[in-house]
Structure 1
């Protein structure tokens, strides 16, 4: 199975040229930034571990990727949530549906404070120091590509949840890494950075308005459809829509652009199935 070394494609979006690192194409079941962050656990054996425990939302990309990891490793998987919508329980879809099919045990309760010795705890979104293992490989792929194509002035952009991928990319890359906060605000993102690394943080681009994670915004729906139409690439609703909005606004503020942009496509499109239904119900077709 090829879990690393995704292709880089050139696209034009709204008359601007971008390069896209297609981590969404790593593997049909194990792709995107979660595959990078969990690569350490995939490549190493844990003979004394029988169970993996994590937590987060009931449609989390990390939840699904962990369910795949546990299926591959023949480990049981407990996933704690603080809420499951009744509609989702009755009509499983997206990450929730496929994680259940991978034998995930979802628990609507408070996360325990301690675990048995045979249990591996992985914090929400894969925000763990072991994530640097796979992200360093990603950084080296980018460096090799830039060297081969003689690109010296390069900026990397990717939207962030916990910010783990952006943080470790900045650690291993000689280029500036740009990101935006999609789950919390900029202060939340800085706190997440500091929990793993105290220095050498990526540059945070601030959104022009406050967005609540998981809420439906017409501009998200619009840019998602524009990206699909212009590039023939499907991006994630929750992260990439805000990511592209922030990136375009950032580029508009610059007097000159003497650098190339490499956008990291971090996957997560499995959750688009349920999101698209919600958007169509609210806004119809755009």
Structure 2
């Protein structure tokens, strides 16, 4: 059985001290927020399921994690994308190559899977569904146990969001799960796909009670998902130099930029959730190097 725990490390970055929850270290092939989101499907038996089907982008972290899950469970895996870049087809790498190596069958074109077959497990893009709450409850308990063991009376938590599923269910679980002598931490997040209104909509589709929603913070300047920004590349390089930790190049640079722009988050001890996804750097880093140099 896979052990779903991860260490908490202390890092110094840009003159501030942070705790980092290293969910990227859960397992070499099944880690980060996708391991938490898909924990329910890994831990439970689904004797009637023979195939898992999902959709999204051709370099999705969720796509790769689902390919690992399918391989572990002995399921087929089919994935739908609207487009695959010619360069990626000619030079398979990153999440795409690893998922193909795990047996993924990919379908290209508009439209996606139709959930009609009871032998097929359908997963929403990015793992955005109720079952994700199962693994996030475990993460919440880990955090509060660690908080108590280290006598941290108050704690702010930060993580960048795509669909917002991880941040939402983490805050909800922290509010519900209690540990004696520990104040419920506050979760802050920023939108990396779309804007704050988009993220709020995602929260409400999964949880109607706004008391369970994380606090959304952002930069004033609009950010386009997956676009190359010199500021993102620079802060990613700084993180490597100052902390020795490799972060994801798609979500984490914006996350750290937003975090540093909002000192209210680290007015209390601050815990950054490292959500993995570093395999995607195989595709993002060459793009940055081509544009901005090494």
TM-score normalised per structure 2:
0.94
Report if the CA contact (8 A) 1:3-1:35 is conserved. no
* Corresponding residue of 2:6: 6
* Corresponding residue of 1:111: 112
Report if the CA contact (8 A) 1:3-1:30 is conserved. no
Instruction: Give CA-to-partner distance per residue, 1:161-193, whole Å, 9 cap, x none.
Output: 001010011101121100000011111111111
Please give the secondary structure, in 1, of the residue aligned with 2:146.
Answer: helix
Cα distance in structure 2, aligned partners of 1:115 and 1:220:
42
* Corresponding residue of 2:161: 160
Cα distance in structure 2, aligned partners of 1:180 and 1:265:
14
Q: Number of residue pairs matched?
A: 282
Report if the CA contact (8 A) 1:153-1:258 is conserved. no
Cα distance in structure 2, aligned partners of 1:258 and 1:57:
37
Instruction: Give CA-to-partner distance per residue, 1:238-265, whole Å, 9 cap, x none.
Output: 10000000000011xx4x9541000000
Gaps of 5+ in 1: none
Cα distance in structure 2, aligned partners of 1:126 and 1:112:
15
* Corresponding residue of 1:204: 216
Q: 1:177 aligns with which of 177, 187, 191?
A: 187
Instruction: Give CA-to-partner distance per residue, 1:55-93, whole Å, 9 cap, x none.
Output: 100000000000000000010011011111111011111
* Corresponding residue of 1:83: 83
Cα distance in structure 1, aligned partners of 2:116 and 2:66:
18
Distance 1:93 1:3, change over 3 A: farther
Per the TM alignment, residue 4 of structure 1 is displaced from its structure 2 partner at its CA by 1.1
Q: 1:242 aligns with which of 250, 254, 257?
A: 254
Cα distance in structure 1, aligned partners of 2:116 and 2:49:
12
Stretch deviating more after TM superposition (211-220 or 64-73): 211-220
Gaps of 5+ in 2: 175-183
Distance 1:3 1:88, change over 3 A: farther
Please give the secondary structure, in 2, of the residue aligned with 1:6.
Answer: coil
Distance 1:257 1:191, change over 3 A: closer
Cα distance in structure 1, aligned partners of 2:266 and 2:143:
20
Aligned Cα RMSD in Å? 1.1
Is 1:20 paired with 2:20? yes
Distance 1:257 1:10, change over 3 A: closer
**Runs of at least 4 residues of structure 1 off by over 4 A?**
none
Report if the CA contact (8 A) 1:33-1:266 is conserved. yes
Cα distance in structure 2, aligned partners of 1:94 and 1:140:
32
Please give the secondary structure, in 2, of the residue aligned with 1:132.
Answer: helix
* Corresponding residue of 1:37: 37
Distance 1:101 1:139, change over 3 A: same
* Corresponding residue of 1:96: 96
Report if the CA contact (8 A) 2:155-2:268 is conserved. yes
* Corresponding residue of 1:277: 286
Per the TM alignment, residue 153 of structure 1 is displaced from its structure 2 partner at its CA by 1.4
Is 1:139 paired with 2:119? no
